[in-house]
Structure 1
Amino acid sequence: MSSLLEILHKEVVPAEGCTEPIAVAYAVSLAAELLEEDITSIRLQLSGNIIKNAMGVGIPGTGQTGLPIAAALGAVVGRSHKELEILSNLTPAELKQANELLDRGLLEVELKDTPEKLYIEARVYSPNHTATAIIAGEHTHIDFLSLDGKKITPPKSKADCGKAGQSDSGAYAGSVDRIFEFIDTVPFQDLRFLLEGARMNKAISDEGLRGNYGLQVGKKMSQQSVVNLFGNDVASRIIAATAAASDARMDGSAMPVMTTAGSGNQGIACTLPVIALAELLGKDEERLARALALSNLVTIHIKHYIGRLSPLCGSGIAGGVGANSGIIYLMGGSLAQIKHGIQNTIASLSGMICDGAKSTCALKISTSTNAAIQAATLAMNNIAPTTKDGVIFEEVEDTIRNMERLVQEGLADTDTAILNIMLSKGGMM
């Protein structure tokens, strides 16, 4: 049982900004900090999924979008110890310095031909030295660090310190049965830390509802007017609260979010529907914490098969399934009904593709939240798809494993096609 708690601690962590460009800033910072001279150039080699997910997203505290400013900031801030919160407390002077670096044309970005979905290689040059940092597999996993070709032992990431490692595939795979038993029996005190994440994600949701971020999906859904077809019912309020957090995050809000399985949008998608429903139903902190543990672990379980970065939308599919499980738990549903809900949600969302991190992620998250609520309603009435229906199998674990098969066999070339379409617009890197 303890490994599931370790996984929660490892996979539910704070970040400021979209994790892909922030991971690029982190890699550049690791290399730049090894140099004691002025930087003369920066060369990035990135996997297609990193480019796809970093091209169109707002960078916190900058009013700018995409890879270049994230990489340049990594070179100047010197805060690699903060990992995915590296750009917190960004100063105007640092932003000015980063933009001057870009104005001098010192950054070069290339697509890396690698089977690794999450790969960042940052080479930073000074007049007499070269430093290299490689991040691979996970957003803060330092695969390689060197100065002038001499390998350096990297600092341990916070996620690696005493937590479950990437190699613990059995723990990551888990099962819905095992997850449900864990969240139902683990001491509440062990889960209390999840409430801080709830407060963090609720705060950025409130900010999204107040401000004019991105497409304003959540804000416009929450406003009552003749052009708003959504009412003030429970479902609409939950969807609006969830979408608003993504609106703010994707448009560069400097507020942190609690991520799940390497993604802030996944953290938003799997937690905010649960947070909003618990508030509307008047549930206590213990019930909320257990529901959040369930939603996060189910999301992590689905992501084990979809992949860290994927042609499928992790926020929509994994986050939506996680949210559905947490919603059913708050409604007093049984393990059997949670399994029905997972089947229903996968039947609804299994084809949602990921075309990068950007403002329209809020649209996908609003769609997945609606699907999660709809699926939960059916599940609470003991309704679920049958084996005659598409990718659904009788056992929920077989259905979940089909997501891996869909990615590996059915969508092998989808990422390449999406990236080529995005790059055809020109000027995005």
Structure 2
Amino acid sequence: MSSLLEILHKEVVPAEGCTEPIAVAYAVSLAAELLKEEITFIKLQLSGNIIKNAMGVGIPGTGQTGLPIAAALGAVVGRSHKELEILSNLTPAELKQANELLDRGLLEVELKDTPEKLYIEARVYSPNHTATAIIAGEHTHIDFLALDGEKITPPKSKADCGKPGLSDSGAYAGSVDRIFEFIDAVPFQDISFLLEGARMNKAISEEGLRGNYGLQVGKKMSQKSAVNLFGNDIASRIIAATAAASDARMDGSAMPVMTTAGSGNQGIACTLPVIALAELLGKDKEMLARALALSNLVTVHIKHYIGRLSPLCGSGIAGGVGANSGIIYLMGGSLAQIKHGIQNTIASLSGMICDGAKSTCALKISTSTNAAIQAATLAMNDIAPTTKDGVIFEEVEDTIRNMERLVQEGLADTDTAILNIMLSKGGVM
């Protein structure tokens, strides 16, 4: 990891809609754009994690959920250059055309037996040609592109711009110490771009608080009523603001979000608590930018060990740990207290599983935000777990690495079990 600033530029990017179905739309679009004839069939082969995270989530601008409409739109819109914002400015005509494609039964989805957690293979057929696009490892990493079996050099993706990311394990040398040193030393102008992400994520939070999205977790928490047990304290306002953004995003809001490490919900989870607290405390833009740099980089650091897609909830665990670090920084905490906060948050959230992208993500994010605030309060009082406590080790980096062991050794079959449970409900793809 040669430059933490480069990591920020690569891993903090905008997206419209849940990144898994949007990545499917992107793959289909890449293949469809190679064909100059009418599309006669689309075949998708997807890893279990892609299916799990795309089955129940709302697709922006459609009022529909799941993989089929995302894939069909990818075949129709023809703007793969927009990558994770491929469905922005969707028109009624495009939606109608996509639904007609589905009505004709031109889409088939299969589970791919692959060790790669993030794998999308899209084959698009026309009367005389077949085009193939494979996305693997990262949501916009084009692993293979071909027309009639002849390999084509893919367009340069933002994810492949030569800058290292959390997937670059051979170059990875991240640590909480290094991140803390960076955020104190980096010139403000170099990280001021993070403020655009703050504006973007705050906007979708406000939309979630206004509208009736999903389970309305954030909205109902923020309303004064006889059945609301939450008060109007700082913690409740931060949790409500964060959950509301996920409510809107998971229910198909067409507003963009600033993602972190390939996930919009991770971006929401690690930034909105920091944004909300900075506003409540009256912090200036520079302090906010530094806190956001910290929260994003700590989230990326945790995700390096959990994995891009995982049986553990990245938004809850990685996003919660990142938010906790940013909260402590805004409260004037030291590096030692930030480490205490990470230990506290992992002790609280380490067992949170991922059962796909859907409306209940807002519940998990509200839980993780609450845990992050609680953990920060303890850390600011110099309280942290000891080595006698579960997965916690004395050194914070060892505790973080234990998340990788938990995924690889302890939860090896969890994704399969979760996916089988989801598929048992029938009609979900």
TM-score between the two structures when normalised by the length of structure 1: 0.99
Q: Deviations over 1:228-269 (max 9, x none)?
A: 000000000000000000000000000000000000000000
Mapped partners of 1:403, 1:165: distance in 2: 19
**Cα root mean square deviation, aligned:** 0.9
Change (3 A) 1:297 1:32: same
Give the Å deviation of 1:166. 6.2
Q: Which residue of 2 aligns with 1:373?
A: 373
**Identity across matched positions, percent:** 95
Q: Which residue of 2 aligns with 1:251?
A: 251
Mapped partners of 1:335, 1:426: distance in 2: 49
* Structure 2 unaligned blocks of 5 or more: none
Give the Å deviation of 1:158. 1.4
Give the Å deviation of 1:168. 3.3
Higher mean C-alpha displacement, 28-37 vs 158-167: 158-167
Give the Å deviation of 1:165. 5.2
Mapped partners of 1:172, 1:85: distance in 2: 28
Q: State how many pairs are aligned.
A: 429
Mapped partners of 2:171, 2:281: distance in 1: 33
Give the Å deviation of 1:48. 0.1
Mapped partners of 1:173, 1:386: distance in 2: 25
Higher mean C-alpha displacement, 161-170 vs 132-141: 161-170
What secondary structure does 2:262 align onto? coil
Q: Deviations over 1:207-246 (max 9, x none)?
A: 0000000000000000011100000000000000000000
Mapped partners of 2:167, 2:111: distance in 1: 27
Mapped partners of 1:240, 1:428: distance in 2: 30
Mapped partners of 1:421, 1:349: distance in 2: 23
Q: Which residue of 2 aligns with 1:61?
A: 61
Give the Å deviation of 1:164. 1.6
Give the Å deviation of 1:161. 1.9
Answer yes or no: is the 8 Å Cα contact 2:2–2:171 preserved in 1.
no
Higher mean C-alpha displacement, 361-370 vs 172-181: 172-181
Mapped partners of 2:108, 2:405: distance in 1: 36
What secondary structure does 2:260 align onto? coil
Q: Deviations over 1:36-58 (max 9, x none)?
A: 00000000000000000000000
What secondary structure does 2:97 align onto? helix
Give the Å deviation of 1:149. 0.2
Q: Deviations over 1:291-341 (max 9, x none)?
A: 000000000000000000000000000000000000000000000000000
Higher mean C-alpha displacement, 153-162 vs 66-75: 153-162
Answer yes or no: is the 8 Å Cα contact 2:214–2:247 preserved in 1.
yes
Change (3 A) 1:30 1:251: same
Answer yes or no: is the 8 Å Cα contact 1:259–1:265 preserved in 2.
yes
Answer yes or no: is the 8 Å Cα contact 2:11–2:165 preserved in 1.
no
* Structure 1 unaligned blocks of 5 or more: none
Answer yes or no: is the 8 Å Cα contact 1:173–1:304 preserved in 2.
no
Answer yes or no: is the 8 Å Cα contact 1:201–1:268 preserved in 2.
yes
Answer yes or no: is the 8 Å Cα contact 1:22–1:70 preserved in 2.
yes
Give the Å deviation of 1:173. 4.5
Moved over 2 A (4+): 165-173
Q: Deviations over 1:348-401 (max 9, x none)?
A: 000000000000000000000000000000000000000000000000000000
Answer yes or no: is the 8 Å Cα contact 2:6–2:163 preserved in 1.
yes
Change (3 A) 1:166 1:385: closer
TM-score between the two structures when normalised by the length of structure 2: 0.99
What secondary structure does 2:3 align onto? helix
Answer yes or no: is the 8 Å Cα contact 1:4–1:171 preserved in 2.
no
Mapped partners of 1:355, 1:294: distance in 2: 28
Answer yes or no: is the 8 Å Cα contact 2:57–2:359 preserved in 1.
yes
Q: Which residue of 2 aligns with 1:317?
A: 317
Q: Which residue of 1 aligns with 2:351?
A: 351
